[in-house]
Amino acid sequence: MHVAFFLLLGASLARFLIRHPGEPRTPWIIVLSLALALLYVLGPALGPRTHDERRPTPRRLIWLGAVVAIWVVLVLLAPSFAWCAVPLFYTGLRTLPAGAASLLVGVLTAFVVAAQLRLSTGFDPNLLLAPPAIAALATAVFVHMERQAARQRALIDDLIRTRRELAATERREGTLAERQRLSMEIHDTLAQGLSSQQMLLQAADRTWDTSPETARGHVRTATDITARNLAEARRFVHDLAPADLADGTPLPDALRQLAARASRSTPDATGALAVRFHLDGTPTPLPDRVQSALLRVAQGALANVDEHAFASSVALTLSYLGDQVVLDVADDGHGFDPADASGRAGPERPADPAPDRGHGLPAMRARVRQLGGTLTIESAPGEGTVLSAAVPLEPTP
């Protein structure tokens, strides 16, 4: 539109100089044309009226008034400058509110009609009807473009707002997921280790005077557990695989090592415990996340057995069934009623009064559910417990 304005202004000035050479008004026409061009160039420097403003700034109003005034004088002196009004239509529509802009377009159109009639040698209906039609068309196009732009701005604002809300939601979900991960890791590793250390140190304290060598053995075992807990803590802080799976150790070997560590040949506060590992089927490579999840489930299940079941033996079985891998943890402890949400009450043991405990089973279910698997528990008071975690495997191509 700026280019069109200067082309029309230059064409109008050239037409006047060609048609009216040497007239006294020529210097005025040239000066006013240059002034109008210079003033028009200064318009963008004032900045457009922003979309959220209802009224233009006083400085821009003064500028628009000066442009229109110079153009009116030029049209009165030389009617050929009338067609510069078309770019001025859009300048007024961009600057003024809708009502004032329509009034300005009407005034400019009237001057265009009057100028064309002055240039005509006779009455021509086209000269009377064409300028209003062009003005109406220009106004309609501008209004349509403004509405389209307003809808696009609203859509962009909605998209930006939605993107921000989505980003905030993703941050919240990421935070919750990380908290869930840490809570499960802490329960399955640090909490289990601290519980074992507590029982070992209590046993060492009871036997310190009567059997110093046994007490020292308990202390050494507690020290080993502390070292493993430290390694586990460093690994899950960095979201690494469990220590038992480090250096590419397969899941069966890791479970076999876990069973060996969990076994207690010497009775302590909870009695002796024999943990045996069984492998069924032909082992196949498993994804890292499946191995980590099943190992954590086994750790959590053994922690529950060690702390609550008063069992003397535990069978840890890993079965490769082709389309799925199943981990079973069966003990001969007191058992419990699966309907009990805490999973701690047995026939001879009341429910644990500590309200901040009981994350084991929910953590196991969450781990298995994330892999698309299922966790089932079969138990009854006095009949032991069988925990089974089944994880589906993707078929090998």
Q: pLDDT tens-digit profile of 53-85?
A: 556 788 888 888 898 999 899 888 888 888 888
- Quick: pLDDT tens for 10-28: 998 898 888 888 888 889 9
State the pTM of this model.
0.46
Is pLDDT at 351 greater than 70 in this prediction? Answer: no
Quick one: pLDDT band at residue 376, thresholds 50, 70, 90?
A: very high
**Closest by CA position to 326, among listed 366, 297, 289:** 297
pLDDT at residue 270, as a whole number: 55
Q: Which residue has the tokens 């002796």?
A: 272
- Quick: pLDDT tens for 155-165: 999 999 998 89
Please state whether beta strands 274-280 and 313-320 pair in parallel, antiparallel, or not at all (unpaired): parallel
The strand ranges marked E within the chain are: 274-280, 313-320, 324-331, 374-379, 385-392
Average pLDDT for 180-201: 75
Is pLDDT at 175 greater than 70 in this prediction? Answer: yes
Higher per-residue pLDDT: 215 or 348: 215
pLDDT at residue 271, as a whole number: 63
Average pLDDT for 118-136: 77
Distance CA 156, CA 168 (A): 18
DSSP helix/strand/coil, 155: helix
Task: Say which range, 125-139, 181-195, 223-237, 371-385, has the weakest mean pLDDT.
Answer: 181-195
Quick one: pLDDT band at residue 356, thresholds 50, 70, 90?
A: very low
Distance CA 303, CA 225 (A): 13
**391 - beta bridge partners?**
325
Most confident of 33-42, 118-127, 165-174: 33-42
Is pLDDT at 8 greater than 80 in this prediction? Answer: yes
Is pLDDT at 373 greater than 80 in this prediction? Answer: yes
Is pLDDT at 48 greater than 70 in this prediction? Answer: no
- Please enumerate in sequence order all residues whose Cβ is within 8 A of that of 320, keeping only pairs 6 or more positions apart, or say none: 280, 281, 282, 283, 284
Task: Say which range, 273-282, 334-343, 369-378, has the weakest mean pLDDT.
Answer: 334-343
pLDDT at residue 342, as a whole number: 46
Average pLDDT for 180-202: 75
- Please enumerate in sequence order all residues whose Cβ is within 8 A of that of 371, keeping only pairs 6 or more positions apart, or say none: 289, 290, 293, 391, 392
State CA 69 to chain mean position distance: 55
Average pLDDT for 371-390: 91
pLDDT at residue 328, as a whole number: 95
- Quick: pLDDT tens for 215-273: 888 888 888 888 877 877 776 665 556 777 877 789 999 999 889 888 865 555 556 78
pLDDT at residue 294, as a whole number: 92
Is pLDDT at 49 greater than 80 in this prediction? Answer: no
Distance CA 102, CA 131 (A): 14
Higher per-residue pLDDT: 392 or 95: 392
DSSP helix/strand/coil, 327: strand
- Please enumerate in sequence order all residues whose Cβ is within 8 A of that of 241, keeping only pairs 6 or more positions apart, or say none: 235, 288, 291, 292
Is pLDDT at 109 greater than 90 in this prediction? Answer: no
Higher per-residue pLDDT: 116 or 160: 160
pLDDT at residue 139, as a whole number: 82
